[in-house]
Every structure is written in C-alpha cells, then in structure tokens.
Amino acid sequence: MNRSIPVLGAVVAGAVLAGWAGAALAQGSGSATLDAVRARGQVICGVGGSIPGFSLPDSQGVMRGLDADSCRVVAAAALGDASKVKFVPLTTQNRFTALQSGEIDLLIRTTTWTLGREANLGGMFTGINFYDGTGFLVKKASGVKSVSAMDGATICVQPGTSTELAIQDWFRVHNMKFTPVLIDSLTEVESTFLSGRCDAMSSDSSQLATFRGSQPNRDDLLVLPELISKEPLAAMVRKGDDKWFDLVRWGQFAQLNAEEEGITSKNVDDMMKSTNPDIRRLLGLEGDMGKALGVDNKWAYNIIKQVGNFAEMWDRNMTPLGVQRGLNALWNKGGLQYAPPIL
C-alpha cells in the first residue's frame, strides 16, 4: 500500500496537468479579451472623442490624437492591422462603467492613474502615455498670471474627475475660495469659459494647451504656469485578464524602445537587417516575444510600421498644437518616458 501512494499521486498529478493543458488550449490565446477581439476582428476602444490632440474626429470623420493612436497600437499588436478599431466616445461619468461592463476592451481617455481607481473600479492601468498635471486657462484680459491670484474665482470643470478633487484640495490647503461650475461635457466647459461665465477653466494642462492651440484667438488666452497636481494619464483594462494587460502595456513599451533605438515607420524595414540583438528581438526576428504575449512575433514591427514610434505619434498629434515633449521625453533626453527592455 505504501508503494502505491506515489504512483497514485503521479496519476493524479498527471490528470491535473492534463486538465490544465486542456483548459489552456480551450482558452486559445490565454486571454478572454484577446480571443473576443480576434473573433470580432476589431478592438473596441473607449476614448473622449472631443479632445484636440488626444481624440477628435478630423474633417473626414477619422478619429485623430494620441489616445486614438494608442488604440491603434493595440489593434496592430493584437490583429496585425492598426485600422481595426471601433472608437467609443465616453464621458468622465460613464467611462469606467463602460469598461466594467465589457462594452469596451480598453479605456484610453485622458484618464489619471490613481490608487482609488485601480483599487475600487475593477481595472488596472497599463502604462503612462502622458505625464500631465492639473492646470488653469484664463483670458489674458483678466490680468491673472498665477493661480495664487485666483482667490474667489469661478472655475469651469468637469465633475467626478481627479481635476475637480485637485482644485478642491489646492484651494483648501492655500486657504482660498472658489466657485465651481460643474459641466459634464468638455466641449460645453470650453464654450462656457469662452462665453465669460467662468473666470477660468481647469483640466489637465495638456488639454488646456491643445484647446488653446486650436483657437483662432489663442493669443488672447493664457495657460497659467503652475501645475497643482500630478496627473499621469494611462490606458486602463479590466482586472483578471493578465495576458491582455501585458499586450496593451508592452505595445507602448515597444514604441518607446523603438524611439530609443532610432527605429521609425520609415526605416523599420531596413532595420530588419540589423545585427543588434535588442532590435532583432523587438522586431520579432529572435526570441519569440510575440508568442509569449499570445500574438504574432511581428507584433512590434506591425505597431512601428503602421503607427510609428512614440516620437512619431507625438509629432503627428501634439507638435502641431504647440505642446512640447517636456516630461514626456525619453528618460535619456530629460523626460520620464522609460521602457523596460524586451528580453
């Protein structure tokens, strides 16, 4: 009897392993979200849809912006085709519900990474695509040049945002008062401010800069120099699907690594001839890195060829609006953007 126990244990262990293997095969890629994306042939991505520089339809109805292109990065990695994206415009009020309910596969909507959101909303942030902070936009005619001169000001802001909380905290800490004008729609916030109902509008400084840059009277508007909070903007996915999390996260890292290596959409085909092992792993020539993510080994090549590296994405969407890289430059150029190696 004693000799049979190890044999029985081995049989049971073998059965368990076989069960796990069968389950893994049944799951396909190992990601329920990725399998659903492949089945429908499309990534469903939640965006703002009305934010210049981040997500805004052009004159032909094509969604343009840093967030929109970040959605395309995921489609290029998951499906090999950056155009296979369905954009779902969301408000600050319904964005998290849309992700929680499965209406969208991921959220890339100028959303600040906070502990409360990650701990309470059933989602995880994958990586910061824009280092930002809460700022204020005023009219130059007001004479206001600093946040410290805004005691008693009326401020237009979207409710339920980290921006609203940052303003409340800052004014309380500095023993100042303000009157909030809470408006759900960002476009209505902007029009209300321009109409003169508010002394200032507050949002992420990037949104303020891109909005100012899109106005014909931009020289009459001023983004105040101070930032009153940290606002790291990041993509968000549902918890419980680690493979999908990995793919979304490493899509951005691939762009950053490509920029660091000097790989662009224009020279990526020539770079396929490189003998540099870092470049060869990135482009799927060595290492089976795509396979580890559950996708084709050319996942990063597809991203770079179809969307570009991070600098190309920035120059396409932010540079025309006068937004400098600043903190969003690579780590070796004075910024905070830093990607782990692809090994």
Model pLDDT for residues 207-257, shown as the tens digit of each residue: 898 899 889 999 999 999 899 999 999 999 999 999 999 999 999 999 999
Mean pLDDT computed over every residue of the chain: 91
The predicted structure's pLDDT at residue 143: 96
- Examine the pLDDT at 185 and tell me if it is beyond 70: yes
CA 237 to the chain's CA centroid: 10
All domains of the chain in start order, with CATH: 32-132+232-333 (3.40.190.10), 134-229 (3.40.190.10)
The predicted structure's pLDDT at residue 29: 82
**Residue range 175-185: mean pLDDT, rounded:** 95
pLDDT digits (tens, 9 = 90+) for 102-150: 999 999 999 999 999 999 999 999 999 999 999 999 999 999 999 999 9
- End-to-end CA gap in the chain: 49
- Tell me how far apart the alpha carbons of residues 240 and 321 are, in angstroms, rounded to a whole number: 38
- Tell me how far apart the alpha carbons of residues 308 and 284 are, in angstroms, rounded to a whole number: 16
Non-local (6+) Cβ contacts of 230 within 8 A are: 133
Which pTM was predicted? 0.82
The predicted structure's pLDDT at residue 19: 37
**Rounded percentage of the chain residues whose pLDDT exceeds 90:** 82
- Examine the pLDDT at 263 and tell me if it is beyond 90: yes
- Examine the pLDDT at 26 and tell me if it is beyond 90: no
- Examine the pLDDT at 7 and tell me if it is beyond 80: no
The predicted structure's pLDDT at residue 323: 85
Name the more confident of 128 and 7: 128
The predicted structure's pLDDT at residue 160: 85
**E-assigned strands of 177-257?**
178-182, 200-204, 221-223, 231-238
The predicted structure's pLDDT at residue 15: 37
The predicted structure's pLDDT at residue 86: 98
Contact 249, 126 (CB under 8 A): yes
